[in-house]
Structure 1
Amino acid sequence: MILDNRGLEPPNPMMRTLQALERLEKGHSLKIINDRRPMFLYEQLDELGYKHTTEPNEDGSFTIEITK
């Protein structure tokens, strides 16, 4: 599942991501694309026990893969 958050103002990308993660089954992954690194989201993911990796994209955005 891919969630494109580009063009959204904070905190909308984080809110959309957390809502999508609630529906995600354990062991599955969600990829999100953000205009910037989601520093506050990382804190939430760590607290909730999600694994995540971040890759920069050529257009300056970031793809974050989150595993539940």
Structure 2
Amino acid sequence: MMLDNRGLEPPQPMMRTLKALEKLQTGETLKIINDRRPMFLYEQLDELGYKHTTEPNEDGSYTIEITK
């Protein structure tokens, strides 16, 4: 599943991402694209036990892969 959060004002990207994560089954992955590093989202993911990796994109955005 892919979620493009570019162009959204905070906290919309985080809210959309957390809502999408609720639908994931264990072992499934969600990829999101954000305009900036989602520092507050990382804290939430760590608390909820999700694994995540972040890759910078050429346009300055970030792709974050989150696994339940």
Q: Shared fold (TM-score greater than 0.5)?
A: yes
Determine helix, strand or coil for the equivalent of 1:63: strand
Partner of 1:32: 32
Normalized against structure 2, the TM-score is what?
Answer: 0.99
Gap runs ≥5 in structure 2 = none
Gap runs ≥5 in structure 1 = none
Partner of 2:50: 50
In the alignment, residue 37 of structure 2 is paired with which amino acid?
Answer: R
Partner of 1:5: 5
Normalized against structure 1, the TM-score is what?
Answer: 0.99
* Aligned residue pair count: 68
Residue 16 (structure 2) pairs with residue 16 (structure 1): yes
Determine helix, strand or coil for the equivalent of 2:26: coil
> Share of identical aligned residues, percent?
87
Q: Which consecutive aligned stretches of 4+ in structure 1 deviate over 4 angstroms post-superposition?
A: none
